[in-house]
Amino acid sequence: MAQVRVLILRAPGTNCDQETAFAFGQAGADTEIIHINRLLSEPTLADQYQILCLPGGFSYGDDIAAGRIVAGQIRHHLTEELQRFREDGKLILGICNGFQILLKSGILLPDEAGKSAPATLAWNESGYYQDRWVHVGTDSGSESKCVFLRGIERMYLPIAHAEGRFVTRDAGTFAALSTGGQLALRYTTANGATSNDALPFPDNPNGSQANVAGVCDSSGRVFGLMPHPERHIHPTQHPQWTRLPQREVGDGFKMFQNAVQYFR
């Protein structure tokens, strides 16, 4: 069987591309890291891959706003290519800065004519960059519609961002996303509790509406999240690994396995 191929798209300032490529590689994929300028000059290059991932970091130094410049490049030059990529049944993942890019480019939640973007990622409610570990849970348990989250109920993952507060355009947009199962990942307490009311800091590290940590599109094949699953694929990456029972893999690893196994 042909090996699943993953395109890791980087830009100046991206700094999680190597870790993300390693995670997909450990899950059995053939990965390639490509600079966005190469894809801009040859958009059909994406046709050679089954999974596209926009990793974390600070693309273009987060000038203007986090992910805004890459999002603009995609909007003006790559929208048709990435829409076709999605329509062909392929997968797109955005982690942290990649999530910001997917939202602001309209690839994750397409814009509606005459309206502002359905949702965005604003500055953390604290006003500060947050670098800590958080508990997250899937909105529908192990039956999540999101391909990346299937079979996953809870994870313990690190975050590292200043603009991660998820906010929808209005109450109607939030209700539609919630009903459609698209608010796929939520921040929780240590015992897995969450709600539509924002949890206090630090359980909800950025003040996200309804504790949202990750969102998928209506197909479940495009997913963005603020936590970093690629930073917890091995149990020794857990901050308390020496005090925990031995495990084979870290919490984030199954996300990459799910993506690769989807094509097998």
- Summarize pLDDT for 143-163 with one digit per residue, the tens: 789 999 999 999 999 999 999
Active site residue 230: yes
Q: How far is CA 126 from CA 4, 78, 162, in A?
A: 41, 34, 9
- Flag whether pLDDT at 135 surpasses 80: yes
Q: Does 3.40.50.880 match the CATH number of domain 5-110+120-261?
A: yes
- Flag whether pLDDT at 1 surpasses 60: no
Active site residue 228: yes
Active site residue 96: yes
pTM: 0.96
- Which residue in the list 161, 228, 232, 238 is annotated as catalytic? 228
**Residue with token string 């974390």:** 56
| Residue 121 contacts residue 166 (beta carbons within 8 Å) | yes
- Which residue in the list 135, 230, 232, 238 is annotated as catalytic? 230
The one-letter amino acid code at 200 reads P
pLDDT at 108: 96
Domain boundaries, the chain: 5-110+120-261
- Which residue in the list 16, 53, 96, 216 is annotated as catalytic? 96
